[in-house]
Amino acid sequence: MDHGVGIPEREVSGLVMTRVGGVEATTAATLPWVVLDGAGRPITPASEFLRELLACGNTPASCRSYAFDLLRWFRFLASVDVEWSRAKRVDVRDFVLWLRTCLNPARDKRHPDAPVPGSLNARTGKPYLKSG
């Protein structure tokens, strides 16, 4: 890595994700899930990766999880206008930074009767997870 050359900065905290593509179940035993591009076509590199995962002993449920992660990566690249085959280390860095700063609706799913974050469980004495 050449430390004399500056790495371009990209502001990702306010990035709005382009919602293109999707993940779809298949009937193929060798590829139970497929990642689709914006036109509804399978993304070949993602399919190859998912086949490798399945061949290495991962379950179809794990492949599904990875498929959604790959979809998120491809959507990020589309949002910053970078082709997947041209993605560089700086794009991976920015993707990770975006993941750390973006809104995650799953984190905000709290039931009204849920315990206060950080409070102690009366039965076990262990603290509940803190918010965030």
38-49 residue pLDDT tens: 999 999 999 999
What is the number of other CB atoms lying within 10 angstroms of the CB of residue 37? 17
Give me the residue label for tokens 């965030």: 132
- Mean residue pLDDT of the chain comes to 86
Is 20 in contact with 14 (CB distance < 8 Å)?
Answer: no
What is the number of other CB atoms lying within 10 angstroms of the CB of residue 102? 15
Judge whether residue 2 has pLDDT over 60: no
pLDDT confidence of residue 95 = 92
Give me the residue label for tokens 């509804």: 40
Judge whether residue 132 has pLDDT over 80: no
Tokens in use for 121? Answer: 């469980």
> How far is 45 from 29, CA to CA, in rounded Å?
18
Angle separating helix axes 44-55 and 60-79, nearest 10 degrees: 150
89-126 residue pLDDT tens: 999 999 998 888 876 666 556 677 778 878 888 889 88
> How far is 14 from 16, CA to CA, in rounded Å?
6
SS3 120: strand
> How far is 14 from 7, CA to CA, in rounded Å?
20
